[in-house]
Amino acid sequence: MALTGILTDQIQKALAEIFKVSIDKVEFQSTRKEFPGDITVVLFPFLKVIKANPAEIGKSIGEYLLEHAQNVDSYNVVSGFLNLVISDDYYVSYFEQIKDNPTFGFVLPEPNAPAVMVEYSSPNTNKPLHLGHVRNNLLGYSVAEILKASGKKVYKVQIINDRGIHICKSMLAWQKFGKAETPQSSGMKGDKLVGKYYVAFDQAYRDQIKELIVQGKTEDEAKKLAPIILEAQQMLLDWEAGKPEVVALWKTMNQWVYDGFEATYKRLGVDFDQYYYESNTYLLGKEVVQIGLEKGIFEKDPDGSVWIDLTADGLDRKIVLRSDGTAVYMTQDIGTAIQRVKDFPDVSGMVYTVGNEQDYHFKVLFLILQKLGFSWAQSLFHLSYGMVDLPSGKMKSREGTVVDADDLMDEMAQTAATLSSELGKLDGYTQEEKNKLYDIIGLGALKYYILKVDPKKRILFNPEESVDFTGNTGPFIQYTYARIQSILRKADFDWSNSVITVQLHSKEKELIKQLQQYPEVIQSAANSHSPAVVAIYMYELVKEYNSFYQSVSILGEQNQAQKVFRVQLSALVAQVVKSGFGLLGIEVPERM
């Protein structure tokens, strides 16, 4: 049982015997640095049921624990807080219980437990993945891994937005300007090639708008009448009608993009259990809209468009089908959600990893699904996150000013290479080993920099700052892991035996206390859908380890039992760092 559980039982008994009251919950917190103690009991909640002052309550509980709780060595009461000093024996015993557990901190899911589906990435097939997609993928993947570690069964999915006017823009531009160019003939990744024509469409569209304005049209008129946008709109209608040559081009260009995406996902280190395609799910969405019309949930306007009126729910009217019968995003999102539960009947909830500019969209989607009568719609969560900015400003896809995900990963590896070379720590490495390490450090820096920030906050991403080998960065934590691996390689003696009798140094005790928090950190991160909780904990853990490393001798310790214990403690810290960084999708190097 965890220390808080043991103490809760004893405190409940103390209150029952001394004050004749029963309480359900005891609130604990870490003891402040300026007071002696390892864990603190918050006394104020007891005042609701006990007619006494906090100091009196604290003293009574403290004396009871000294007599009855074998793990409590001493106590002190400060302004409504009972600080408890826990015995070394407890921490040594706790360490013995966890040191050989390879899944320490993780909870195995119950065999028939309901599942959670986590959606992330969900790109459009008209451009390559960019920095915004990187944050999306890292968040979604990490939240899925954290939910799994907390005891949930998890499915990782994405919906590929492979239809719509934006796709037709790239297709039309390729037809007009592409001269039959392919990824093979151009030497470009397929997603980048298609993105090139999305930008080309926008340039041609702007030029036509300017011409129409010169001819006397207003800007709004010009945007609607530009020949190239009319052609794109017709192409969308032709696609929905199944026109063979349009569908064939769509399949070809989409496959170029899918191949490009897969290469990016592999390097980024994310994966999926299932792919969904908007081109399939929007049809189910249209069927559901018809059912909703019959039930009176939706309403049809005179022009034939279909809407839902949510004004009574504090929202507004939302279109779910255009007047020409074509679907909108909401249509396909309705269909996708329903299809997913058909495919995975054990799903009881879904997490949508989508930027905060879609907050309103998901409020509407969740409410529509509830009104359609789906019980699982009560357990839908929008993992809303802030945008990623660069020192140069906001990214715009159609203008070609995005930071490409592949280019970013290359830049991160190069930055890691430059800094590593300056530090001069890689003597004896082959070039292949160096390149692998640069990738691990560069991607670790990128992922940690993004994931250490609460998802709701906007990020200003600074590549060079992220690869710093000191401070709250991925490379700093990776370096601590590599340092421990060096210690373990040099420990040329058997350090596998249990060490029951050992005098704890204060730094050893603090380190075990920090390790003790790991299971709670995972649960907290899962409940809040925030990888930042794990990232912050990792930083605090390695700071505590480095303080321990600077304060005591490990391999130079003369007492063999003490030396074995310190090596074992180092090994467990390394295991937790590797485990926690794994939840963030970050590799750790054996040497650095």
CATH number at residue 548: 1.10.730.10
With a pLDDT cut of 70, the percent of the chain lying above it is 98
Give the pLDDT of residue 398. Answer: 45
Residues 279 and 416 in one domain: no
Q: Would residue 192 count as lying in a domain? A: yes
Instruction: Give the CA distances from residue 379 to residues 382, 489, 592, in Å, rounded to whole numbers and listed in that order.
Output: 10, 48, 44
Flag residues of the chain having pLDDT under 50: 394-400
Name the one residue in this structure whose structure tokens are 């009217």.
317
Give yes or no for a contact between 578 and 106, defined as CB atoms under 8 angstroms apart: no
Instruction: Determine the pLDDT at residue 1.
Output: 67
Euclidean distance between CA atoms 323 and 306, whole angstroms:
7
C-alpha–C-alpha distance, residues 159 and 153, integer Å: 20
In a domain, 112, yes or no: no
69 and 166 both lie in a single domain: no
CA distances to 12, 32, 62, 70, 93 from 87, rounded to whole Å, are 20, 18, 14, 8, 10
384 with 418, same domain: the answer is no
* CATH code of the domain covering residue 215: 3.40.50.620
Say which amino acid occupies 359: D
* Distance of alpha carbon 17 from alpha carbon 284, whole angstroms: 64
Question: Does residue 423 sit within a domain?
Answer: yes
Does any domain span residue 262?
A: yes
Last residue of a domain, one of 86, 105, 138: 86
Q: Is residue 314 part of a domain?
A: yes
Of 349, 342, 380, the C-alpha closest to 363 is 380
Look at residues 231, 219, 228, 162 and name the one whose alpha carbon lies nearest to residue 201.
228
Going by C-alpha positions, the residue among 441, 454, 429 that lies closest to residue 536 is: 454
Burial class (CB in 10 A: 0-12, 13-18, 19+), 428: exposed
CA dihedral sign, ordered 272, 274, 280, 283: negative
* 388 in Cβ contact with 135 (< 8 Å): yes
440 & 520 share domain = yes
Distance CA 300, CA 253 (A): 35
The DSSP code for 248 is: H
Query: 581 by DSSP, 3-state: which?
Result: helix
Provide the token pair at 204.
């041609």
Count how many Cα atoms sit within 13 Å of the Cα of residue 314 in the half-sphere of its side chain.
3
Provide the residue range defining the domain that includes 449: 405-583
137 and 66 within one domain: no
Within this chain, do residues 17 and 131 fall inside the same structural domain, yes or no?
Answer: no
Return the HEC string of 266-296.
HHHCCCCCEEEEHHHHHHHHHHHHHHHHHHC
Rounded distance between C-alpha atoms, residue 301 and residue 319, angstroms: 10
β partners of residue 81? 42, 78
Q: Please tell me what DSSP assigns to residue 83.
A: E
The answer as to whether 94 is a domain residue is: no
pLDDT score, position 401: 54
**Amino acid identity for residue 397 in this structure:** S
Residues 485, 572, single domain; the answer is: yes
Q: Do residues 307 and 298 lie in contact, with contact meaning Cβ atoms separated by under 8 Å?
A: yes
In a domain? residue 111: no
* Domain assignment present for 126: yes
* Residue 336 and residue 243 share a domain: yes
Extract the tokens encoding 179.
């001269």
Q: How many domains does the chain have?
A: 3
Per DSSP bridges, beta strands 299-300 and 274-277 are unpaired
pLDDT tens-digit map of 167-206: 999 999 999 999 999 999 999 999 999 999 999 999 999 9
Say if residue 288 is in the same domain as residue 147. Answer: yes
Return d(Cα 553, Cα 564) in angstroms, integer.
Answer: 12
Tokens 């119950």 correspond to 110
CA-wise closest residue to 195 among 209, 181, 212: 181
Handedness of CA 322, 246, 333, 343 (dihedral sign): positive
Between CA 439 and CA 474 the distance in angstroms is 12
Helix/strand/coil for 217: coil
- Show the tokens assigned to 393: 């400003």
Region for 405 from its dihedrals, namely left if φ exceeds 0, alpha if ψ lies in -120 to 50, beta otherwise: alpha
Largest CA distance in the chain: 94
At residue 399, the pLDDT reads 47
Pairing between strand 28-29 and 39-42? antiparallel
Q: What's the start-to-end Cα distance of the chain, in Å?
A: 38
Instruction: Look at residues 35, 61, 86 and tell me which one is the last residue of a structural domain.
Output: 86
The residue from 364, 389, 414 where one domain ends is 389
Give the domain CATH number at 50: 3.30.1360.70
- Asked if 544 and 573 sit in the same domain, the reply is yes
**What confidence score (pLDDT) does residue 396 get?**
47
Query: Rg for the chain (alpha carbons), in Å?
Result: 29
Same domain, residue pair 145 and 211: yes
The C-alpha angle with vertex 507 and arms to 451 and 538, in degrees rounded to 5, equals 10
Q: Residue 537 and residue 517: Cα distance in Å, rounded? A: 9
- Residue 392 is predicted with a pLDDT of 66
Give yes or no: residues 378 and 416 share one domain. Answer: no
